Amino acid sequence: MPEIKLSENTIQLIKNICAEFENKENELINVLHRVQGKLGYLPAEVQEVIAKELNIGVARVYGVVTFYSFFTMIPQGESPISICMGTACYVRGAEQVLAEFKRQLNVDVGESTNDGKFSINCLRCVGACGLAPVVTVGGKVFGRVAPSQVKEIIAEYTQSNSADEAKSA
Amino acid sequence: MDTINLTIDNKTIVVNKGTSILEAAAEVGIEIPTLCHMKLHDLNIENKPGGCRICVVEVEGRRNLAPACCTDAHDGMEISTHSLRVVNARRTVMELILSDHPFECLICAKSGNCDLQDMAHQLGIREVHYKGEQSHYRADTSPAIIREIDKCIMCRRCETMCNDVQTVGVLSAINRGFNSVVSPAFEMNLDHSECTYCGQCVAVCPTGALTEVDETGKVIRALADSTKTVVVQTAPAVRAALGEEFGLEPGTLVTGKLVAALRRLGFNYVFDTDFAADLTIMEEGTELLNRLNRFLSGDKDVKLPILTSCCPAWVKFFEHQFPDMKDIPSTARSPMQMFGAIAKTYFAEKLAVKREDLVVVSIMPCVAKKYERGRDEFKVNGNPDVDHVITTRELAALIKLSNIDFNALPNEEFDNPLGESSGAGVIFGTTGGVIEAAVRTAYEIQTKKELPRLDFDELRGMEGIREATIDFDGLPIKIGIAHGLGNARKLLEDIQAGKSEFHAIEIMSCPGGCIGGGGQPYHHGDASILKKRQMAIYREDSNKAIRKSHENPYIINLYKEFLGEPMSEKAHHLLHTQYFDRTEKVKI
């Protein structure tokens, strides 16, 4: 695992979040939820700060992080891709869609592409079973996705990103 | 308190509200089988995750079976602990547990002492009907403890000891479902973690998932090497527990047989760590008085309280967790390391043997001692002061291997000059003992008067944190005692906050002190065994002719012939040490 040096600001941010929950051990899940919301992921160094603030062993923190699939220790891509693996999506071919995303981006579930643009995750039901199989990218929902559309979806984000870059340049 | 009536296996009983079915059944002599559950009554330690489901019972009118360990008894309950449904469920649960357990019992270190094996036997399991994938996880070896996670049944006892009792926080259940294992954070190996090697996880593990590193093979090889002189030292707590391995009642003292057994194993000299405990008192007691007197004369550079430093797990604990306080503990080495240093200098010179040709073996109630002996500061040109450390359990195995009928052995005496000890050296084996031993010597040195009494009952007991004020002829000395690292942490936090008023604090990592060490015969959840060992230690003390360390003639002679005086330059070089900030060492 690459070592990360947390900035003073980040450490302070984590400390503040812990303080909001009165540094209580039984608020660990809420603290992790909030910190991941701010930082995007929970690397080891972040977990160590949280453990210290809540006065518990870092193994306990790591235990909770690895128990819930919601928590991740890997940074999310700029455009996080989530494929629904709920029952409805699954029976309508979500697995093939996932396989296609993995093939095209050359990453596994829970990983990010080298350029940091995309990451792939699985989730369970977004409540749009009528649109199965469902894929979300960032906040946007794509319904009735077929493996043949995967290239198109990826392209949409690659282009829009480069368009943004062009604009800012 | 409100009481309730219920029947268990047709026996009517009255229990207090809030009593679990398991405890209620025990009150009428019904022992419901358990596996993950563990309650050490006297120490206020309980592991009750309700995970294994072995303790299920049938409650009339309830749809599903109830886990007895974590279901409260209610008024009017009618409970059956061995109905057909219960027995079938219990056996199914057991078979499912076994379906993901390696069948290595014949060669497992825990064989014969395994709660899982016993339970399979008790439930009459003759076949495992469930065949499926088995979970595999890499084994992890450290200087003291081996984790064989494939043998783990996720009872979480180790987690309770590591987090709730010891507050070390190294072990936790991680991942989920079939992939869940007990592990240090980020799945690092134990020797990269903040593990203190106290071994309390090993002491409570129901299977062979956590065991000590076995050094018996090295000892056998050393004994067979005719070019080596092999000396052995035995820690105080060993003599109060070894007998259990040979079917003797807990609390039986086997000092004489222990010596005889070691001699028959082939050790050239059978010595006693208690001798070195007396030496520790000379050094630590002198250091205590130096610091105390400077403090009382207003020296602002002197810090009090002074903390004992005999326990290697405690030393590693504060090096990781309280590095800012590493100048507070005594600099005195542990008795085991003092013995090693003296054996490889003073005694080796007497024998005219090179230190490389002298092998020092320690019999310890402890697994952390295996780690301690490997610390760099206890080596000279790479040669360690202590070569091998085996636990009380390993010694028992060695005796059995060597066809020695332990119970038939005569009582024999330790060799000299490193085998004579005072009663003060003996009580190092129990919580409160080190500080009592220190008081016996420090009082007489400080006041230049003879102690009016030798038994300090106010320092004895099993309470996790104890305090007492001892009158040093008009000077009140405040003493604190903690056993269990969670209790130690509380006293340390008081010191950090400037709230501590103690002059001296004794700390031992294991509940009960060394008598409850991680290398002792397994107590299988019966904490009353620790009390019996403690009483045995005090019995040994009161039977001793000499009960104060400074009156041990061999100690007096050692200073005269070799060391000079306590805290002399030579004593400092051989008998004292330094501590390190280990916070930076922990890397993923």
Beta strands in B26-138 (DSSP E): 38-40, 45-47, 56-59, 66-67, 78-80
User: Is A70 an interface residue toward B (CB < 8 Å)?
Assistant: no
Interface-testing mutation among A60, A61, A122, with chain B (most B C-beta atoms within 10 A): A60
Residue B583 falls inside a structural domain: no
- The predicted pLDDT at position A169 comes to 40
DSSP B519-565: TSPP-TT-THHHHHHHHHHHHHHHH-S--SGGG-HHHHHHIIIII-S
End-to-end Cα separation, chain B, in angstroms: 51
Please check whether residue A72 lies inside any domain of the structure.
no
CATH of the domain at A133: 3.40.30.10
Q: What is the CATH number of the domain that holds B260?
A: 3.40.50.1780
Q: Is residue A73 part of a domain?
A: no
* Shared domain check, B357 and B468: yes
Query: Is residue A2 one of the residues assigned to a domain?
Result: no
Q: Is B575 exposed, middle or buried (0-12, 13-18, 19+ CB in 10 A)?
A: buried
User: B172 is in which domain, residue-wise?
Assistant: 135-213
Q: Which of B172, B175, B186 is the closest to A57 by Cβ?
A: B172
Residues B174, A44: C-beta atoms closer than 8 Å = no
Q: B421 with B446, same domain? A: yes
B260 and B206 within one domain:
no
Burial pattern B535-558, b for ≥16 Cβ within 10 A else e, equals bbbbebbeebebbbbbbbebbeeb
B319 pLDDT higher than 50: yes
Average confidence (pLDDT) over B526-530: 94
Q: Domain for residue B130, yes or no?
A: no
Asked if B114 contacts B207 with a C-beta cutoff of 8 angstroms, the reply is yes
**Same domain (yes/no): A54, A129:** no
Q: How far apart are CA A31 and CA B560, in angstroms?
A: 63
**Do residues A28 and A84 both lie within one domain?**
no
Cα B326 to Cα B306: distance, rounded to the nearest angstrom: 11
How many structural domains are present in chain A?
2
Please indicate, yes or no, whether residues B194 and B225 belong to a single structural domain of this protein. Answer: no
| Co-location of B207 and B222 in the same domain | no
Tens-level pLDDT at each residue, chain A (169 residues): 556 788 999 999 999 999 999 999 999 999 999 999 899 899 999 999 999 999 999 999 999 999 988 898 988 888 889 999 999 999 999 999 999 999 999 999 988 898 889 999 888 888 889 999 999 998 899 999 999 999 999 999 987 555 454 444 4
Please determine, for residue B548, whether its predicted confidence score (pLDDT) is greater than 60: yes
Examine the domain organization and report whether B172 and B257 are in the same domain. Answer: no
Backbone angles phi, psi at B131, to 5 degrees: -110, 135
Lowest-pLDDT range of A119-128, B60-69, B338-347, B499-508: A119-128
Q: Is residue B164 part of a domain?
A: yes
Task: Report if residue A3 sits inside a domain.
Answer: no
Look at residue B457 and tell me if it is in a domain: yes
Same domain, B224 and B252: yes
The residues that bridge with B358 in the sheet, in sequence order, are B229
Do the domain assignments include residue A46? Answer: yes
B328 and B283 fall within a common domain = yes
Domain end: B164, B189, B213, which one? B213
Is B124 among the domain residues? no
Instruction: Indicate the number of domains in chain B.
Output: 3
Strands B229-234 vs B358-364: parallel, antiparallel or unpaired: parallel
Q: What is the mean pLDDT of residues B326-340?
A: 97
The predicted model gives B166-181 an average pLDDT of 94
Residues B228 and B195 in one domain: no
Residue B108 lies in a domain: no
Whether residues A115 and A45 share a domain: the answer is no
Are A157 and A85 contained in the same domain?
A: yes
- In the chain, the amino acid numbered B468 is A
Residue of B nearest to A44 (CA): B186
A84 and A122, same domain (yes or no): yes
Percent of chain B with pLDDT strictly greater than 90: 96
> Is residue B97 pLDDT above 80, yes or no?
yes
Q: How far is A5 from chain B (nearest CA, A)?
A: 13
Same domain, B183 and B271: no
Instruction: Assess whether pLDDT exceeds 60 at residue B307.
Output: yes
At residue B42 the predicted structure's pLDDT band, cuts being 50, 70 and 90, is: confident
Asked if A131 contacts A93 with a C-beta cutoff of 8 angstroms, the reply is no
Claim to verify: residue A118 and residue A157 sit in the same structural domain: yes
Instruction: Tell whether B208 and B236 lie within a shared domain.
Output: no
Average model confidence (pLDDT) for chain B? 96
Q: What is the pLDDT of residue A2?
A: 57
Shortest alpha-carbon distance between residue A129 and chain B (Å): 27
What is the predicted ipTM?
0.88
Residues A93 and A43 in one domain: no
- Let me know how many helices (H) and strands (E) chain B has, helices first: 19, 22
Mean predicted confidence (pLDDT) in B84-110 = 96
Same domain, A86 and A50: no
- Examine the fold and report which residue of B144, B179, B213 is the final residue of a domain before the chain moves on: B213
Classify residue A133 by its DSSP letter: S
- Can you give the CATH number for the domain in which B34 is found? 3.10.20.740
Q: Residues of B at the A interface (Cβ-Cβ below 8 Å)?
A: 162-163, 167-176, 180, 183-186, 193, 587-588
Q: Residue B166 is part of a domain; what is its CATH number?
A: 3.30.70.20
The one-letter amino acid at B101: H
Q: Are residues A46 and A84 in the same domain?
A: no
The domain in which residue A121 lies consists of 79-168
Same domain for A59 and A125: no
- Are A106 and A154 contained in the same domain? yes
Indicate whether B122 belongs to any domain.
no
Report if residue A1 sits inside a domain.
Answer: no
State the best of B158, B186, B587 to mutate against chain A, taking most chain A CBs within 10 Å: B186
End position of a domain, from candidates B192, B213, B234: B213
What 3-state DSSP class applies to B253? coil
Tens-place pLDDT, residues B118-157: 999 999 999 999 998 999 999 999 999 999 999 999 999 9
Closest by alpha carbon to B309, among B289, B284, B286, B343? B284
Please give the Cα distance from B70 to B52 (Å, whole number). Answer: 11
Answer yes or no: do B320 and B375 share one domain: yes
